Structure 1
Amino acid sequence: MNQQDIIDFINQCDSPKIKYAFTDIDGVLRGKIIHRQKFLDGLTDGFGFCDVVWGWDSSDTPYDNGQTTGWHSGYPDAAVRIDIATFRQLPWEDNMPFFLADFSAPKGKTTVAACPRSLLKRIAAQSQDMGFHAEFAQEFEWFNFRETPNSLQQKNFQHLEPLTPGMFGYSILRPSLESAFYHDLFDLLAQFDVPLEGLHTETGPGVYEAAIMHDEVIRAADKAALFKTGVKEIAYRHGVVATFMAKWNAALPGCSGHIHQSLWNKEQTKNLFFDASKADRMSELMRQYIAGQLYCLPHITPMFAPTINSYKRLVEGAWAPTTITWSVDNRTTALRILNHNEAYTRVEHRVSGADTNPYLAIAASLASGLYGIRHQLSLDIPASEGNGYADKRNGILPTNLDEATRAMANSPVAAELFGTEFVDHFTRTRDWEWRQYLRQVSDWELKRYFEII
């Protein structure tokens, strides 16, 4: 639909309300409902949106170290433009029209350093300029609980009731207990233009996994960002709370957000990662892409593991990688290569967790792969054989957010990939997150030290 089609649809729509949104740096979908007339006026003039969304954390607490905005700037409105290409309707809200928005760069700037979607658009443009069509998809695991937001608070997030009990990974039986919820996820997300390739249970009580249909890289990130909030809203309507925490319980598996990716020619007729003439069917371009991702990974880990909790997932033997490794169809390495045939040849980035901001994780994947191509890096790291956790030849991943953030803040590689403004803003937010964690007294500390010390 072009702009005039959108205008005609909105004018004829029964609902006078339009919802629009964008993700903040943590991937939280922020937005509002506006009147039809304000939407139509804004297509020409744009909108203003309080830039505090770049100046506070996921719990709405203002940063004390922000430069992008803050008390020093008075939190003014920033210019926002709706991207009409993202038009869809919310099937669980009477088909209310919905759009994603971008923040417009202020005078003297070419980009909004804090805007994740703007960052991805810049990286995607680099890919296009190099002659590539980037095809991506993200898949997510998440836990579901028979709770409400109120009950979570009343229980202090303890002794929660999972949607279903027991370890029933890939079970056909278990989803039949909650078939209305299960089918609503698949059907309503499809109507929301976030179609799923597959949906199944994973190992753990009440845990599901969904793979989103692959698409052009920006549309793929849009769908991934909308998926997470869409799942939560659908869950609410079934008396369920969904969590995308990377590791909500130390005794259970974590939740991944694996990123599948490939580069095609601009006509989308040839997968440039596939080479049937090679014994391993991997093109030289694919090898350079993998080399770039492995080289850049320790410089940009917070974009794949952005929270304190992320690093509780990245432990040995927990279905998440800990080493800078790659291999063909091996679920213990950071990068898993799938290349049985051209149509489905791709790289699966397994470091990324379910707690990621999809725009940032996908931007990091694409930018680091393109880095390898631009610099013609050789894939000198041999493929891991067997247990990737034991293959430490190329190093290990950072073990906490502070370590990872310091590495990124001081990295010329990160600055080359994303620009100094973004790196400065993002690492300041991660430093803030770490400092909030250090101020807390955990249940573990109380149990460990309260009486005996």
Structure 2
Amino acid sequence: MNQQDIIDFINQSDSPKIKYAFTDIDGVLRGKIIHRQKFLDGLTDGFGFCDVVWGWDSADTPYDNGKTTGWHSGYPDAPVRLDLATFRQIPWEDNIPFFVADFSPGPTGQPNQYALAACPRSLLRRIASQCQAMGFHAEYAQEFEWFNFRETPRSLQDKNFQQLEPLTPGMFGYSILRPSLESTFYHDLFDLLAQFDVSLEGLHTETGPGVYEAAIMHDEVVRAADKAALFKTAVKEIAYRHGIVATFMAKWNADLPGCSGHIHQSLWNPEQTKNLFYDPAAPNHMSEIMRQFIAGQLYCLPHITPMFAPTINSYKRLVEGAWAPTTVTWSIDNRTTALRILNHKEAYTRVEHRVSGADTNPYLAIAASLASGLYGIRHKLSLDIPASVGNGYADTSNGTLPRNLAEATQVMANSSVAVELFGSAFVDHFTRTRDWEWRQYIRQVSDWELKRYFEII
């Protein structure tokens, strides 16, 4: 639908409401419902949105170290832009029209501080443009694992997030039986997401009580990130309708597997007729472009780990034997390394980035994966690191991932590689937010500390 088609549709709609949203730096959707007339006026005059969304954390607590905005600036309005190409309707909300927004400048506008420093979708759009200028079409998809609980937001608070009731008991990955207990919810996920233009390639249980995994259909890189970002909130909203709370924490329980957000990625020619990662004459069918892409991702990974592991909790997942990588490694179809190469057929040849968890902001994780791969192509890096064989956890020859958010953030804050990938304004803003996140954590006294030290020390 072009702009006039959308205007005609909105004018003819029975509802005067339009909803739009964008992700903040943590991947949380922020937005509002506006009146039809406000929407139509904004197509010409633009929209304003309080820039506090770039000056506070996921709990709405203002940063004490922010530069992009803060008490010093008075939290003015920022220019938000609705991307009309993202038009869709929300089937579980009476088909209300919905648009993805960002803070990128319009067609003739100059980049603003929010687009350059803070807006995740704006960052990805810049990197996607670089990719296109290099002659590539980037095709991406993200998959997610998450836990479901028979709880409500109120019951979570009342229980202090303890003794929660999982949707189903026991460890039963790839079960045909378990989803039949909640077949209405299970099929609502698949069907309503498709109606919301977030079609799933597959949906199944994973190992763990009440765990599902979904793979989103691949698409052009920005559209793929839109779908991934919308997927997480859509799943939560659909779950609410069934008396269920869904969590995308990377590791909600120390005794259970973590939740991944693996990124599948490939580069094609502009006509999308040839997968540039595939070369039938090359060893393992891996083209030179693919090898450079992998080399770039491995080289950049230690410099930009917070883009894939942005929370305190992220690093509880990145431990040995937890189906998540700990080393800077790659392999052919091996689930113990950071990068897993799938190459048995041209149409499906791709790189799976396995560091990313379910708690990532899809725009940032996908931007980081694409930018680092392009870095390898741009610098013509050689893939001198041999493929890991067997247990990737044991292969520390190329280094290991940072152990916590503080370590990862410090590396990124001082990295010229990160600045080359994302620009100094973004690196400064993002690492300030991660430093804030770490400082909130170290102030807290945990249940573990109380149980271990309260009486005996």
Q: 1:248 pairs with 252, 255, 265, which one?
A: 252
- Say if 2:207 is the partner of 1:203: yes
Whether the 8 Å contact between 1:103 and 1:112 is mirrored in structure 2 is no
Residue 279 of structure 1 deviates from its aligned partner by 2.8
Structure 1 counterpart of 2:17: 17
- Say if 2:144 is the partner of 1:136: no
Structure 1 counterpart of 2:261: 257
Q: 2:381 pairs with 377, 384, 396, which one?
A: 377
Residue 112 of structure 1 deviates from its aligned partner by 3.4
Structure 2 matches for 1:114-133, cutoff 5 A? 114-133=118-137
Whether the 8 Å contact between 1:299 and 1:407 is mirrored in structure 2 is yes
Structure 2 matches for 1:345-360, cutoff 5 A? 345-360=349-364
**Structure 2 CA distance, aligned partners of 1:26 and 1:238?**
26
- The structure-2 alpha-carbon separation of the partners of 1:184 and 1:108, relative to structure 1 and needing over 3 Å to count, comes to closer
Paired residue secondary structure (1:63): coil
Structure 2 counterpart of 1:403: 407
Whether the 8 Å contact between 2:104 and 2:111 is mirrored in structure 1 is no
Instruction: Decide which moves more: 105-114 or 285-294.
Output: 105-114
**Structure 2 CA distance, aligned partners of 1:333 and 1:255?**
16
Whether the 8 Å contact between 2:10 and 2:36 is mirrored in structure 1 is yes
Q: TM-score, normalised by structure 1?
A: 0.99
Structure 2 matches for 1:41-440, cutoff 5 A? 41-105=41-105, 109=112, 111-440=115-444
* Runs ≥4 residues deviating over 6 A: none
**Structure 2 CA distance, aligned partners of 1:325 and 1:194?**
31
Paired residue secondary structure (1:42): helix
**Structure 2 CA distance, aligned partners of 1:389 and 1:45?**
54
CA deviation string 1:260-295 (max 9, x = no partner): 000000000000000001131000000000000000
**Structure 1 CA distance, aligned partners of 2:103 and 2:112?**
12
Amino acid at match of 1:249: N
Amino acid at match of 1:64: D
Paired residue secondary structure (2:417): helix
CA deviation string 1:119-171 (max 9, x = no partner): 00000000000000000000000000000000000000000000000001000
**Structure 1 CA distance, aligned partners of 2:171 and 2:47?**
48
Paired residue secondary structure (1:220): helix
CA deviation string 1:88-117 (max 9, x = no partner): 000000000000112145967484310000
Gap runs ≥5 in structure 1? none
**Structure 2 CA distance, aligned partners of 1:120 and 1:41?**
27
Amino acid at match of 1:298: P
**Structure 1 CA distance, aligned partners of 2:45 and 2:37?**
12
Aligned residues: 453
CA deviation string 1:347-382 (max 9, x = no partner): 000000000000000000000000000000000000
Gap runs ≥5 in structure 2? none
CA deviation string 1:404-436 (max 9, x = no partner): 000000000000000000000000000000000
* Cα RMSD, aligned residues only: 0.9
